[in-house]
Amino acid sequence: MQGNGEHHANDERLPAAARAAGFASPFDRAAWFDLLEAHGFARQGRIDARGRAGGVTAWLPLRTEKPGEVAGLTNWYSFAIRPLYAGDGDRGAALQALFRGLRRSAARLTLCPVSDPNDLTAALRAAGWWVKATPAGDRHWLDLGDMDHDAWWASRPGALRNTVQRKAKKGIVDIQLLTEFDPGSWAAYERIYAASWKPEEGHPALLRAFAEAEAAGGRLRMGIARIDGIPVAAQYWTVEDGTAFIHKLAHVEDSLKASPGTLLSAALFRHVIEVDGVKRADFGTGNDGYKRDWMNRHDPLWRIEAFNPSRPAAWGPALKAFARALLRKES
C-alpha cells in the first residue's frame, strides 16, 4: 500500500491519541515531547514527521540538529524513542510513507536510544535510505511472568536478600512511599541527589515538571529513606500499563553502611508488584552492575543512522559511518 509522507514543524502536532505499538511508556506521550520542546531540547526547530497509509498515521517527533540533519526528540531522561500511530491500518506502510516524506528535506536522520530497531530499519530501507544500526548501550528490565512478589524475591541473589533482611531488622532506616507530588519530598530528593555520587542533574526543572505531570495522572511512585529523620536516599518511579519505570535514584554517600537505597528499592518493588500489580519493570538506560541484582532481562539499545542517497550532503558522512563499521568488524 502506497502512503503519503509529510513533515511539518508548526501546523500539525502529534495528537494526544497517538500510541506506540506494544506497552505504553511515559516517553511515548505527546505531553513528553511538548515538555522537551518547552525546556529547550528543540532549539533549532521541532518536526513532527508523519506518514499516512489507509486509515493509519505514523508519527515520529524529531528535532533539527542543523540544516538537513534531524534526530529523534529525546534527551538523557528518555528510555527510548519509537514511532507512534493513530488510527487503524497497515502501520508498516504508514512508517514507510513517513520516511519517504522525510527524504524531501533531510539528508541525515539519527534515532537513539532505540530498543527494537527492526521495524524502523526495515521501513527506512524500504523508503530508500541507507541505514546503519549499531549497539549504543544497555537496557535492564524485569519480566515477572507468572511470579508474584515472593517468587520474584526468592529468585534474586542471596547477597541482596540477606542485605535487605539484615538492614531492615536493625530498624535504622525509615521508609516513606508517596503516590502524590509533594514539594517538600521533591526538595529532599534534590538535596540527596546533590550530595550523592551522581553527576550534576542535567535539567532539574524539566524533571520536576515531568514528575508533577506524572503525579497528576496518578502514575507517580516516589520513595524517601530517612535515618534519624534526615533524608538520605530517594527514588523516583512511575507506573503505567503494567510496567514500573525507574527514573532516578540517589543516596547520600556517608549513609551507605545502612543500605538505605537498597531498602528503598525493595520497598518500592513490593509496592508496585503487590499494590499496582505490575508485570514488568524497566531500569532505563545504562549497564550499572547493581541493576542485574533486581532484573532478569538484558537487551542492547541501538543507535540508528540513516542517510538519504539523493542528497550529496549525506554521501561523506555515510561513507565514514559505514567505513567505521567495516573496520570494527574486521578488527
pLDDT tens readout for residues 58-91: 999 999 999 999 999 999 999 999 999 999 999 9
Q: For residue range 24-63, what is the model confidence (pLDDT) as tens digits?
A: 999 999 999 999 999 999 999 999 999 999 999 999 999 9
CA angle 90, 94, 98 (to 5 degrees): 170
How many residues does the structure list for the chain?
331
Cβ 190 vs Cβ 139: under 8 Å: no
Residue 200: CB atoms within 10 A of its CB come to 7
pLDDT at 6 over 60: no
Q: For residue range 216-230, what is the model confidence (pLDDT) as tens digits?
A: 999 999 999 999 999
- Does residue 321 or residue 108 have the better pLDDT? 108
- Of 144-153, 231-240, 311-320, the one with minimum mean pLDDT is 311-320
Predicted confidence at residue 222, as pLDDT, reads 98
Predicted confidence at residue 328, as pLDDT, reads 57
Mean pLDDT of 254-265: 88
**CA separation for the pair 1, 129 (Å, rounded):** 19
Q: What percent of the chain has pLDDT over 90?
A: 87
Predicted confidence at residue 329, as pLDDT, reads 59
- Superfamily grouping for domain 146-278: Gcn5-related N-acetyltransferase (GNAT) (3.40.630.30)
pLDDT at 133 over 70: yes
Q: Is 66 exposed, middle or buried (0-12, 13-18, 19+ CB in 10 A)?
A: exposed
**What contacts 24+ positions apart, CB below 8 Å, involve 142-147?**
142/280, 142/281, 142/282, 142/283, 142/294, 142/295, 142/296, 142/297, 143/279, 143/280, 143/296, 143/297, 144/273, 144/278, 144/279, 144/280, 144/281, 145/279
CA 18 to chain centre: 17
